Amino acid sequence: MYKQLVLNLFHSKWIWYIGIATIIINVITALLPSDTQPIILQFSNSLNMIAIIFTTSSYLSIHDLLRKNNNHYFYYALPNTKKGILKGEYVYYIMMLILTSLIIASYLATNKEMYYVYGFMMIIGVCLTVMSLYYLGFAKYWMRYVFTGYFLYGIPVVTTFLFHFLPLRNVNEMDRALPGFDFYLYHLPIYTLIIGVIMFILTYFINLRNITKYDMI
């Protein structure tokens, strides 16, 4: 597991650099006088969203990089078991979720608009669900369909951003109420996150049982 985890961390070090840099910028912005914060927020808003996209989809970036460079043959040749590889993948994703949470927390400390919590909960819940579905296929097909994983990740996340995150922000910024949309905007993210966590745990044990049945290459 540890060899697999180190390999993933090595191939994603640039994502960690972006994430840590984003957190530092958020913290510095939060410490600045309030009249100068809006100037930096115009830039940091986009930076935070890009960083979250990178951290939540990092497993795809790693698999794509390994596949393109044919490093997956080395990846498979590591003195590791299939179950160890899977454990390393899941532990790595947990670490990326922690980094994502730190980015979100530092952003909220700067933005001070707590309704964003619901938007981020929705995005993280969707990402967990998508990741769980991807690894169901990973346990069987390994890296043969990484490109499909981008569609599996991109379409739900972009849809969530356009049809939940942005409406949530617009409703609160304009201080308007949408009758009948409270469940969609404020309660559905909680359920989505819970479902994502359950699927993450459940698919881990399913994959742990099934991963030895299929060849890597």
Alpha carbon distances (Å) from 53 to 79, 191, 200, 213 = 32, 21, 18, 32
Alpha carbon distances (Å) from 158 to 92, 194, 197 = 23, 20, 20
Instruction: State yes or no: pLDDT of 164 exceeds 70.
Output: yes
Residue 210 has what pLDDT?
Answer: 76
What is the C-alpha separation between 139 and 174, in angstroms, rounded?
A: 46
Instruction: State yes or no: pLDDT of 187 exceeds 80.
Output: yes
Judge contact between 135 and 89, C-beta under 8 A.
yes
| Higher local confidence (pLDDT), 216 or 213 | 213
Cβ neighbours of residue 47 under 8 Å, at least 6 residues apart?
22, 25
Instruction: State yes or no: pLDDT of 19 exceeds 90.
Output: yes
Q: How buried is residue 208: exposed, middle or buried, by Cβ count under 10 Å (0-12/13-18/19+)?
A: middle
Eight-state DSSP code of residue 211? G
**Which whole number is the average pLDDT over 156-169?**
90
Mean pLDDT comparison of 64-68, 189-193, 205-209, highest-scoring range: 189-193
What is the total residue count of the chain?
Answer: 217
Instruction: State yes or no: pLDDT of 82 exceeds 90.
Output: no
Judge contact between 6 and 86, C-beta under 8 A.
no
| Higher local confidence (pLDDT), 40 or 169 | 169
**Which whole number is the average pLDDT over 17-44?**
86
pLDDT in tens, 128-145: 999 888 888 776 666 666
Judge contact between 31 and 110, C-beta under 8 A.
no
Sign of CA dihedral 8, 14, 20, 22: negative
pLDDT in tens, 85-107: 788 888 889 999 999 999 999 99
Q: In whole angstroms, what separates CA 136 from the centre of its chain?
A: 17
What mean pLDDT is reported for the chain?
82
Cβ neighbours of residue 76 under 8 Å, at least 6 residues apart?
216, 217
Residue 217 has what pLDDT?
Answer: 46
| Higher local confidence (pLDDT), 138 or 158 | 158
DSSP string, 175-198: T---TT-HIIIIIHHHHHHHHHHH
61-70, 72-81, 175-184: least confident range = 72-81
Residue 142 has what pLDDT?
Answer: 65
**Which whole number is the average pLDDT over 70-84?**
61
**Which whole number is the average pLDDT over 168-185?**
81
Cβ neighbours of residue 12 under 8 Å, at least 6 residues apart?
58, 61, 62, 92, 96
Instruction: State yes or no: pLDDT of 74 exceeds 60.
Output: no
Per-domain residue ranges for the chain? 2-213
